[in-house]
Structure formats: C-alpha cells, structure tokens
C-alpha cells in the first residue's frame, strides 16, 4: 500500500469514527428521557422521591412538589408534569368536568385526621358545631369531612369553614386562629407531638374509606 493510499484509508477511518461518535451522542441524548413527576408536600407524597432508584437506564426523574391537589391535577392536564400523586377528590372533580385525566393506580391510603385544639372541649365531630374548622378546598379531606358531617346530621352551615392549606394548619391551630382542622400528615403528627392538638378521629368511615391519593396522568 502506498503512502497516499494509507493516508486515504486513515482519513476514511477517522471520518467513520467521528460519525459513529456523533451518532452515539445523538442516540444517547434521545435515550435520556426525563420523567416529570408531581407530588404533594405531604409525608404520603414522598414515594416519587424514590422513583429514580428504580428507573431503567436512560431515564431520569424530576420531582415537582405542589401544595394543592388541584394544582397537581392541573399540571398533569397542561403537560407541566407527566404524572402526579395527588388526592382522589381532585381527580373526581376534574373528571366530572370532562377533563381528560386518568387514574393510573392508587398511591396511598390513610394519612388524614381531624384535629382539635388540645385545650378545647372538642372530642367528636358533633363538637365541631359552630367552631372554626380549617379545610383545604378541592381536597380529599374536604370530601371526607362533608361526608362525616352528613353522617352526623350536619353540614358546612353548622361549622365555620376556614380555607387553609395543609402546611399552614398546625401553626394556625397552635396560634388559636382555628379551633380544629381536617388535615393530612405530617400536620396531625406535628400537632400531637408538640401537645397542641387532640385527635378527634381518623375519618375513614365514609364511603371513600381509607383511600387518599392516586397516581394520575392525562389521556394524551
């Protein structure tokens, strides 16, 4: 082989290797898919933070936290996240309105409680009559307390509902801003641990049972 021929072979080999490297880089980029997973800022919304440990090669998981279950559901519909762990009530409200939201699976059970000021005389749902009760609109807890009130022959008219997010409920109870709240963990646990709150009940006796949150996605 002449020097010129050898140079041409070497050049072709270099071009081939460069092309292969470029193709491999592009393929690798295409294979690296980011899964955006929403979840609520709750103890029982912690599971998505472990998804990365079980993700197949070429996949990474980005967790996006939400304060409101409705915000999580809306993020699924707008494509902000691919899937989300949020309260089942938000799904029901969206589906009833014709929104293309889909339940993939049950995500968590339990994790909710009706808490009262430890210094108050509130010990039952009936004792909530006339009291300031913190409730997060659009949440599973709102549906649950409505059912519990109904079972006791009561309604929202018999209490003073206060719109409050889950994370603000323990502090509001400690300050005396509310007399009770229908919350989600870790709120109830915090109120019990610091001695501020008294457990009225775990409201799992409604037709919803203990089901709390689901994993949702959009039809698309």
The half-sphere exposure of 51 on its side-chain side, counting CA atoms within 13 A, is 21
Q: What are phi and psi of 139, to 5 degrees?
A: -95, 165
What's the whole-model pTM score? 0.76
What pLDDT, on a 0 to 100 scale, did the predictor assign at position 183? 96
Q: Is the pLDDT of residue 75 over 80?
A: yes
Q: CA torsion sign, 133 to 138 to 141 to 146?
A: positive
Q: Is the pLDDT of residue 189 over 60?
A: yes
What pLDDT, on a 0 to 100 scale, did the predictor assign at position 19? 37
Q: What is the pLDDT of residues 30-64, one digit of tens each?
A: 568 999 999 999 888 999 999 999 999 999 999 99
Q: What is the pLDDT of residues 137-161, one digit of tens each?
A: 989 999 999 999 999 999 999 999 9
Residue of 136, 112, 131, 129 whose CA lies nearest to 179? 131
Q: Among 1-5, 106-110, 138-142, 187-191, which stretch is predicted with the lowest mean pLDDT?
A: 1-5
Q: Could you write out the three-class secondary structure of 132-179?
A: EEEECCCCHHHHHHHHHHHHCCCCHHHCEEEECCHHHHHHHHHHCCCC
User: Which percentage of the chain shows pLDDT scores above 90?
Assistant: 76
pLDDT, the chain, mean: 87
Instruction: Using pLDDT thresholds of 50, 70 and 90, give the confidence band for residue 70.
Output: very high
What pLDDT, on a 0 to 100 scale, did the predictor assign at position 16? 33
Residue of 75, 186, 105 whose CA lies nearest to 63? 75
């Amino acid at each position: 082989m002449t020097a010129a021929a050898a140079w041409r072979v070497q050049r072709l080999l270099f071009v081939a290797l460069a092309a292969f490297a470029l193709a491999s880089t592009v393929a690798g980029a295409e294979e690296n898919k980011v899964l955006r997973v929403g979840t609520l800022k709750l103890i029982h919304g912690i599971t998505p933070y472990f998804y990365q440990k079980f993700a197949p090669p070429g996949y990474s998981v980005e967790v996006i936290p939400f304060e409101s279950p409705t915000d999580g559901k809306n993020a699924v519909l707008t494509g902000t996240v691919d899937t989300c762990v949020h309260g089942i009530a938000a799904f029901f409200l969206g589906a009833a309105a014709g929104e293309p939201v889909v339940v993939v699976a049950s995500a968590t059970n339990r994790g909710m409680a009706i808490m009262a000021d430890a210094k108050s005389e509130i010990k039952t749902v009936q004792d909530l009559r006339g009291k300031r009760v913190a409730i997060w609109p659009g949440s599973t807890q709102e549906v649950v307390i409505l059912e519990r009130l109904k079972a006791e022959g009561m309604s929202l008219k018999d209490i003073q509902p206060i719109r409050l997010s889950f994370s603000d409920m323990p502090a509001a109870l400690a300050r005396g801003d509310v007399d009770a709240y229908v919350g989600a963990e870790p709120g109830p646990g915090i109120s019990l641990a610091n001695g501020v709150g008294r457990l009225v009940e775990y409201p799992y006796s409604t037709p919803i049972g203990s089901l709390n949150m689901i994993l949702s996605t959009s039809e698309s």
